[in-house]
Amino acid sequence: MQIEKHKVDELNHQLSAKHTHQFEHIAADVNNVEGVLTKLGAFNVAIPSWALGTGGTRFGRFSGGGEPRSLEEKIEDVGVIHALNKSSSSISLHIPWDIPENATAMNVLAAQHGLHFDAVNSNTFQDQKDQKLSYKFGSLHHTDKAVRKQAIEHNIEVIKYGVQLNSKALSVWLSDGSNFPGQLNFRKAFQNTLESLQEIYEALPDDWKVWVEYKPYEPNFYSTTIGDWGQSYLLASKLGPKASTLVDLGHHLQGTNIEQIVSILLMENKLAGFHFNDSKYGDDDLTVGSINPYQLFLIFNELVEGMDARGMNHATDLGWMIDASHNVKDPVEDLLQSVQAIKIAYAQALIVDKAALVAAQNNNDVTLAQEILQQAYRTDVRPLVAEASLRNGGSLDPVSAYRRLSVREQLISERGLKTVATGL
């Protein structure tokens, strides 16, 4: 299915008077509102192919209806999201869950929805049917060179798929680690990982990047071989300029100051981008902005400040992706809520009075620095986000539009009530 633009326009029309009133109200208070709208309008967050179906936990999965049964249907779903929010213009594939048998056809289909392909993701945390060697004890860090070789080749194959799709980055998340003290030699595991990544790095096309994710625990519960930003940074430094560190918001110990890590990585020119989600405990993979929206704003505050300091293009110089699991919500609604939350945080960060903040920081005027940040955070920027969407042809209120257009009902009628998408 594909959402017809006139239907979105109709819904917008019904909200138009109210929106205009709200927008004008805030526009009067915001400096350079057109600049803010331009940046918001240019901002896109990739949708991962594995997040279009209902997720689960080790205790079970409660599937919803109308889940995409193929890569084509996943592209359709992202098309729906993008038609509504005009901020999800790309899809990030996960191999082997979504092998594009016919890359040309996929490129055409994506283009029909206004989409392109973002970073491709390898998977060595599961065994696939007919796989020769098992990843039970890891992949790129494995003690057995043959297993490492198999995992390296898988990554190189993923790059090849990516090249066909005009993707420009390989995103590597390894679950390699250990469950028990003594299981691993940490040093050798690190060195094996480095050597494996070096082989993959060698296979990268000139204009490609490799993004190295880190995570402290799960699915291994004693150690993870790329366990924190420092270890990822160390690998990325040794690999070279095409390698950098990907930050997944849920991949931190409780209490970690993520925004500080973001600032440091930006300073070192080693920040690849983000996997957005939210969490209260571990890698809970909840809707972005559903648990601690202020933290999300603080991260964007560092991003805007740090990217501007380097003269980076907000829209294109980092990788923006969602990585969440939707256990109790309609996945499309969850993704729509997530993108809205990201754009709200971004808008709030854009309207921070930077000059005043710098002055307050230089004076160690802590009270004032907080007032400045919270002045931006407490502002209701939703009309700015809505206006940016409207100007791009999107919906003023994507979640509500999705419901009013009965999209899920149509998907169920097309695909059936009992479908299970590939993914977690």
Which positions from 36 through 55 interact with its own copies, judged by CB under 8 A?
55
**317: three-class secondary structure by DSSP:** coil
- Region from 78-86, 199-207, 366-374, 387-395 binding its own copies, contact rule CB under 8 A: 366-374
The residue among 64 and 106 lying less far from its own copies, judged by its C-beta, is: 64
SS3 percent helix, strand, coil of the chain, rounded to 5, is 50, 10, 40
Candidate residues 20, 107, 134, 198; the one interacting with its own copies per rule CB under 8 A:
134
Q: How many CB atoms lie within 10 A of CB 38?
A: 14
Inter-CA distances, 242 with 81, 199, 386, 415, Å: 31, 13, 36, 41
Burial (0-12, 13-18, 19+ Cβ within 10 Å), 192: buried
Sequence-distant (6+) residues with CB within 8 A of 52 are 67, 68, 74, 77, 78, 331, 332, 335, 421, 423
The residue among 102 and 143 lying less far from its own copies, judged by its C-beta, is: 143
CB of 205 to its own copies, least distance (A): 29
Residues 382-421 binding its own copies (CB under 8 A) are 382, 399
Give yes or no for a contact between 245 and 229, defined as CB atoms under 8 angstroms apart.
yes
The residue among 90 and 279 lying less far from its own copies, judged by its C-beta, is: 279
Candidate residues 62, 70, 99, 241; the one interacting with its own copies per rule CB under 8 A:
62
The whole-angstrom distance between residue 164's C-alpha and the CA centroid of its chain comes to 22
Query: Among candidates 95, 236, 106, 116, which has minimal Cα distance to 159?
Result: 95
Give yes or no for a contact between 416 and 31, defined as CB atoms under 8 angstroms apart.
no
Largest CA distance in the chain: 66
CB of 83 to its own copies, least distance (A): 18
Candidate residues 14, 32, 191, 313; the one interacting with its own copies per rule CB under 8 A:
191
Query: Among candidates 231, 199, 238, which has minimal Cα distance to 214?
Result: 231
Residues 100-129 binding its own copies (CB under 8 A) are 125-127
Candidate residues 43, 97, 117, 190; the one interacting with its own copies per rule CB under 8 A:
190
CB of 350 to its own copies, least distance (A): 16
Residues 248-267 binding its own copies (CB under 8 A) are 253-257, 259-260, 263-264, 266-267
Give the residue ranges of DSSP H helices in 180-326: 186-202, 229-239, 258-267, 293-310
Candidate residues 179, 313, 406, 413; the one interacting with its own copies per rule CB under 8 A:
179
Compute the distance between CA of residue 83 and CA of residue 85 in angstroms, rounded to an integer: 6
- Interaction pattern, residues 135-154, with its own copies; x per rule: CB under 8 A: xxx-----x-----------
Compute the distance between CA of residue 115 and CA of residue 109 in angstroms, rounded to an integer: 8
Residues 317-356 binding its own copies (CB under 8 A) are 325, 327-330, 333-334, 337, 344
The residue among 76 and 333 lying less far from its own copies, judged by its C-beta, is: 333
CB of 115 to its own copies, least distance (A): 23
Give yes or no for a contact between 162 and 107, defined as CB atoms under 8 angstroms apart.
no
Say whether residue 186 binds its own copies (CB under 8 A). yes
How many residues of this chain interact with its own copies, rule: CB under 8 A? 106
CB of 230 to its own copies, least distance (A): 3
CB of 372 to its own copies, least distance (A): 6
CA atoms within 13 A on the CB side of 245: 29
Give yes or no for a contact between 166 and 117, defined as CB atoms under 8 angstroms apart.
yes
Residues 208-237 binding its own copies (CB under 8 A) are 216-219, 221-223, 227-231, 233-234
CB of 82 to its own copies, least distance (A): 19
CB of 337 to its own copies, least distance (A): 7
What's at 267, amino acid-wise? M
Residues 292-311 binding its own copies (CB under 8 A) are 292-295, 298, 301-302, 305-306, 309
The residue among 71 and 335 lying less far from its own copies, judged by its C-beta, is: 335
